[in-house]
C-alpha cells in the first residue's frame, strides 16, 4: 500500500491540533510508518525517470517520481475557471482545450441517477487495457505497448480480452476526430483514453480525483498480446503478471477494485448485466467484502474466479481484508475530511503508475488535473431499496434485462422502471 511519507503527514497534522484525538488516528499513523517500506509495493521508476537526475526533472515529472516512489500525493482538489475556448488565454494554457474535451466526456459519463454510466465504466476499462500491454520483459525485447493509444488505433481492439470495448473506442476516436483532426488541437488519442479513465473514475460517486497528465505520443502498432489479466487466472499468475508491469500486490489489490462499478456481459453471457457488487455504478468498497464473503452477496452479484483467488492469496488477502473493513473506503481512495490529511490513496497511486507504462517522455508531460470535475464524496441513492430487491432475484427474463440495462446506463430505478420491476418480480417491490 502506498502512503504519504511521514514528514508530509506530520506537517499537515501540525495545522490540525485535534487530529490526534480523532478516533483511530494513532493506529493510522502507525500504519503509515509500518508501510513506508512495504515489500508488497513497487517503488520502481519508469521511462525517462530511470535515467534523468533530479535536477533535470520538470516539477510535474518530479511529482510523478514522488508518487511512483511512495512519497507523493496522487490526488488533487485543484480546480480553475477555464478561459473561453479559442481565446488568447486559452491558447497559452496546454490544459485549456482539455477542459472542453472533459466537459463532453462528463455528459456521457454521468447518469440521471448520479451513478456513472456504461460509457464511464468502459472508459475506465479502456484506460486499463490500453496501458496494460506493457511489461518489463517485452520492453526489454524492444516491443511496444503501454498507454500509447494503440488499442483504438490498431486491430488490438479485436482481441478477445477487449470484448465490450469496441463502442468506447469509437467514442474516443470520435472525440479525437473532433478535437484533433477537425478543430486542429494537438491532443493525442493516448491522452484522450487516459483522461477519459480518470474523468470517469471521479464521475462515479465516491471515486477518487486522480492526478491526470497529457503529452503522451500515439503509437499505431499493436501492443504485445497475452499481457492482460484473465478472469480465471490464478492469484500467483496475476501477481507475477503485474509485478512484470512494476505493479506490486497491494496496488494490484486496489486496482481490481474498479470492478466495484461493474456489470459483466461477456464472462457469462447467460448472466449478462449482473453486477460485481450490490452498488453498480458507485465507486465504493463493497466489492471487496462481497467477493471475500465477509459481507452478504445477493444471488445476482457475479464474482470473477480471479478476484476470489486474490481475496485469499497471502500477498493480497491482508490488503483485501483491510479494504473490506469498515474503514476500507478511506484506505482505498478517499481524503479524510475530518482531519484534512491526504493519505496516498492506493487506487489513485496505482492508476498513475499504470498510466505511465510504456512512456519515454514523462519529463515532458503536463499535469491537467484542474480540468477534472469535482468528486462526489457521499452518495445515498433513493432507489437502492429497489436495486436490492432486484439483486435478490436470479431472474434473467427480457424485462429483468431492461432493469440491468437501465442501471448500466446510469438510470434510476424509480419512476417508470418501478412498474417493470413490479411486473417481473411478481410484486416483490410492494411494501
Binding-site members for heme b are 259
Q: How far apart are CA 344 and CA 316, in angstroms?
A: 18
By the 8 A CB rule, do 150 and 140 touch?
no
- How many whole angstroms separate alpha carbon 150 and alpha carbon 140? 19
Place of cell 494537438: 186
Radius of gyration of the chain (CA): 21
Is residue 416 classed exposed, middle or buried when 0-12, 13-18 and 19+ CB atoms within 10 A define those classes? exposed
Nearest to 239 by CA among 227, 230, 248: 248
Contact 46, 359 (CB under 8 A): yes
Q: Is 14 helix (H, G, I), strand (E, B) or coil?
A: helix
Residues annotated as catalytic are 129
Query: Binding site for Ca(2+): which residues?
Result: 130, 146, 148, 150, 260, 277, 279, 284
- Helices of type H across 160-301: 166-176, 189-203, 235-243, 249-255, 286-292
- List the alpha helices (DSSP H) in 72-117: 88-92, 96-109
Q: Which of 84, 66, 364, 52 is nearest to 214 (CA)?
A: 364
Q: How far, in Å, CA of 365 to CA of 162, rounded?
A: 27
Dihedral of CA atoms 162, 168, 171, 177 in degrees, nearest 10, equals -30
Element (H, E) at 419: helix 416-424
Residue 305 vs residues 308, 314, 389, 418: alpha-carbon distances, Å: 5, 16, 25, 33
How many C-beta atoms lie closer than 10 Å to residue 231's C-beta? 14
| Exposure on the CB side of residue 249, measured as CA atoms within 13 A | 20
Amino acid at each position: 500500500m502506498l502512503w504519504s511519507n511521514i514528514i508530509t503527514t506530520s506537517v499537515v497534522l501540525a495545522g490540525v491540533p485535534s487530529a490526534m484525538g480523532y478516533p483511530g488516528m494513532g493506529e493510522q499513523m502507525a500504519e503509515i510508518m509500518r508501510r513506508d517500506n512495504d515489500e508488497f509495493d513497487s517503488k520502481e521508476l519508469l521511462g525517462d525517470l530511470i535515467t534523468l537526475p533530479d535536477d533535470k526533472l520538470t516539477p510535474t515529472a518530479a511529482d510523478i517520481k514522488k508518487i511512483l516512489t511512495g512519497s507523493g500525493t496522487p490526488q488533487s482538489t485543484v480546480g480553475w475557471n477555464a478561459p473561453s475556448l479559442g481565446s488568447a488565454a486559452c491558447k497559452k494554457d496546454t490544459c485549456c482545450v482539455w477542459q472542453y474535451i472533459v466537459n463532453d466526456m462528463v455528459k456521457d459519463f454521468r447518469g440521471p441517477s448520479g451513478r456513472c454510466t456504461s460509457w464511464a465504466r468502459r472508459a475506465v476499462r479502456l484506460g486499463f487495457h490500453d496501458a496494460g500491454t506493457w511489461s518489463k520483459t517485452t520492453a526489454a525485447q524492444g516491443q511496444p505497448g503501454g498507454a500509447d493509444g494503440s488499442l483504438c488505433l490498431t486491430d488490438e481492439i479485436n482481441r478477445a480480452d477487449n470484448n465490450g470495448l469496441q463502442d468506447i473506442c469509437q467514442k474516443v476516436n470520435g472525440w479525437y476526430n473532433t478535437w484533433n483532426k477537425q478543430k486542429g488541437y494537438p491532443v493525442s488519442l493516448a491522452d484522450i483514453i487516459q483522461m477519459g479513465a480518470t474523468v470517469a473514475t471521479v464521475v462515479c460517486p465516491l471515486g477518487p480525483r486522480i492526478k491526470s497528465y497529457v503529452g503522451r505520443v500515439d503509437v499505431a502498432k499493436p501492443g504485445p498480446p497475452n499481457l492482460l489479466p484473465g478472469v480465471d487466472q490464478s492469484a500467483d499468475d496475476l501477481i507475477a503478471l503485474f509485478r512484470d508491469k512494476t505493479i506490486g500486490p497491494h496496488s494490484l489489490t486496489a486496482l481490481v477494485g474498479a470492478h466495484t462499478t461493474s456489470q459483466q456481459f461477456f464472462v457469462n453471457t447467460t448472466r449478462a448485466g449482473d453486477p460485481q457488487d450490490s452498488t453498480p455504478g458507485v465507486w465504493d468498497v463493497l466489492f471487496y467484502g462481497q467477493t471475500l464473503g465477509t459481507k452478504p452477496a445477493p444471488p445476482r452479484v457475479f464474482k470473477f474466479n480471479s478476484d476470489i483467488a486474490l481475496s485469499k492469496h497471502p500477498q493480497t488477502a491482508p490488503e483485501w481484508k483491510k479494504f473490506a473493513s469498515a474503514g476500507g473506503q478511506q484506505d482505498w481512495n478517499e481524503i479524510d475530511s475530518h482531519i484534512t490529511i491526504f493519505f496516498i490513496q492506493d487506487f489513485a497511486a496505482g492508476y498513475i503508475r499504470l498510466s505511465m507504462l510504456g512512456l519515454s517522455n514523462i519529463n515532458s508531460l503536463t499535469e491537467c488535473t484542474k480540468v477534472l470535475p469535482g468528486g462526489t464524496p457521499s452518495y445515498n441513492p433513493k432507489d437502492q431499496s429497489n436495486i436490492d430487491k432486484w439483486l435478490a432475484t436470479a431472474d434473467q427474463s427480457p424485462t429483468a434485462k431492461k432493469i440491468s440495462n437501465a442501471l448500466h446506463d446510469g438510470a434510476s430505478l424509480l419512476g417508470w422502471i418501478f412498474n417493470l420491476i413490479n411486473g417481473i418480480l411478481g410484486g416483490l417491490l410492494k411494501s
